[in-house]
Amino acid sequence: MKNKEKIIKFLLNTSNKLTRKILVDEKKNLINDGYLDSFDIIKLVAEIEKIKNKKINASLFNKDSFNNLSTILNLLK
């Protein structure tokens, strides 16, 4: 499974509020619009670290890093 697919699957399993339409909608801010909370973000970072097989330096991301699917996928690079 590709990394993008793993992240989408994880996000959909993390919150029952998320749908594919919302997830790929660049206009939706997943944090400000209430789709992801702080605990979801912690779980998401742990999942990204698992996929990358290494720790992510916390200074590399901020609130804007989790705005939408594109910004989240940038953390995989």
- Answer whether 0.85 is exceeded by the pTM: no
Q: How far apart, in whole angstroms, are the C-alpha atoms of residue 63 and residue 52?
A: 20
Integer-rounded Cα Rg, in Å, for the chain is 11
Task: Tell me the pLDDT band of 1, cut-offs 50, 70 and 90.
Answer: low
66-76 pLDDT, tens digit per residue, is 899 888 888 88
Average pLDDT over residues 9-23: 77
Distance between CA atoms of residues 4 and 6, nearest Å = 5
Instruction: Tell me whether residue 77 is exposed, middle or buried, using C-beta atoms within 10 angstroms of its C-beta: 0 to 12, 13 to 18, 19 or more.
Output: exposed
- CA dihedral of residues 23, 25, 26, 31 (deg, nearest 10): -50
The confidence score (pLDDT) of residue 74 equals 85
Q: How confident is the model at residue 60 (pLDDT cuts 50, 70, 90)?
A: confident
